[in-house]
Structure 1
Amino acid sequence: MTTKHQLLQICNERIDKRINDYKEEINLIKESIESNDKGDSEDDDSGNGKLLNDLEKNMGYLNDAQQAKAFLKQIKLNVSTTYAALGSIVKTKQMNFFLSTSIGKIELGNEVYYAISLSSPIGQLLKNKSKKDSFEFNQTKYVITNII
């Protein structure tokens, strides 16, 4: 299995975990709302208001995670380019990036990769760059040593 395949698999696993965690949280919140509704009707409804806010937040997070999952499906690992694009591994002297979705740090073997979105600030700087191109982010200059 290539490094790209392994990175994509890890990204998918982490997104799947997020999706499952949000679904579990949503179910817990729904159960809490239902049990509050069965309680004394004279109780203050402020508890349900907070639960409804939490439900709405978690549904938004779930939607974002599902969109990230759909975005990962667009990555074509068999396509090779000489420039940074979706699915590329971009190596610099300082760090390695996997252009996919915002997952963060991934340790694979003895190397560290950062799975980032093309729409992130650093992803925007990397987009369409080629080997030996440079860019600056957070007052650090990066030179691209390889694109896989």
Structure 2
Amino acid sequence: MTTKKLLLQACKDNVEKRITDYRNEMALLAEAIENNDKESEDGDGGNGKLLNDIEKNAGYLNEALKTRDFLAQINPNSTHTTAALGSIVKTETIVFYLSTSVGQIEIENEIYYAISLQSPIGMLLKGKSKTDSFTFNDKKYTVVDIL
């Protein structure tokens, strides 16, 4: 499998795990509400916070589902001359994978940083070509390769 395919799969695995975690958490919260209702005589049983937690997790789940759909747009077989969605952008010190914000991914003993194009550094990278430079957090980076 190519590095791009491995990176995309790592991002998809991360999102699928988050989706599963949010669904599991919501099920546990729903069960807790049900148990509170059975035990409570005053009607509420402290369910307000649990309902808020379900709502919060539902929002996170919705975002994770959108991210999964977004990742489906990436073609790991495409090549790029400028930094775009699905690109691997190598600088002299860091290698970025433009996809979604996952953070550090290690593949074949090399470290990649999966970042979103909407992140501050992603916005700086978008459209850059080989030899272009940009500054982020007072540090200058030069693009040495785009895959």
Does TM-score exceed 0.5, indicating one fold?
yes
User: What is the CA–CA distance in structure 1 between the aligned matches of 2:134 and 2:40, rounded to whole Å?
Assistant: 62
Gaps of 5+ in 2: none
Q: Is the 8 A contact 2:36 2:45 kept in 1?
A: no
Q: What is aligned with 1:11?
A: 11
TM-score of the pair, normalised by structure 2 = 0.96
Q: What is aligned with 1:21?
A: 21
| CA drift at 1:95 | 0.5
User: What is the CA–CA distance in structure 1 between the aligned matches of 2:99 and 2:48, rounded to whole Å?
Assistant: 36
Q: What is aligned with 2:139?
A: 140
SS of 2:73's partner is: coil
TM-score of the pair, normalised by structure 1 = 0.96
How many residue pairs are counted as aligned between the two chains?
A: 147
| CA drift at 1:41 | 2.2
Look up the equivalent residue of 1:7 and give its one-letter code: L
Q: For residues 95-146 of structure 1, what are the alpha-carbon distances to aligned partners after superposition, in whole Å with 9 as ceiling and x for unaligned? A: 1100001111001112100001101111000000000000011111000000
User: What is the CA–CA distance in structure 1 between the aligned matches of 2:8 and 2:54, rounded to whole Å?
Assistant: 30
**Cα RMSD (Å):** 1.1
Stretches of 4+ aligned residues off by more than 3 angstroms: none
Q: What is aligned with 2:52?
A: 53
Q: Percent identity?
A: 59
SS of 2:8's partner is: helix
Gaps of 5+ in 1: none
- Judged with a 3 Å threshold, the aligned counterparts in structure 2 of structure 1 residues 46 and 126 are, in CA distance, closer, same or farther, namely farther
User: What is the CA–CA distance in structure 2 between the aligned matches of 1:25 and 1:18, rounded to whole Å?
Assistant: 10
User: What is the CA–CA distance in structure 1 between the aligned matches of 2:41 and 2:120, rounded to whole Å?
Assistant: 50
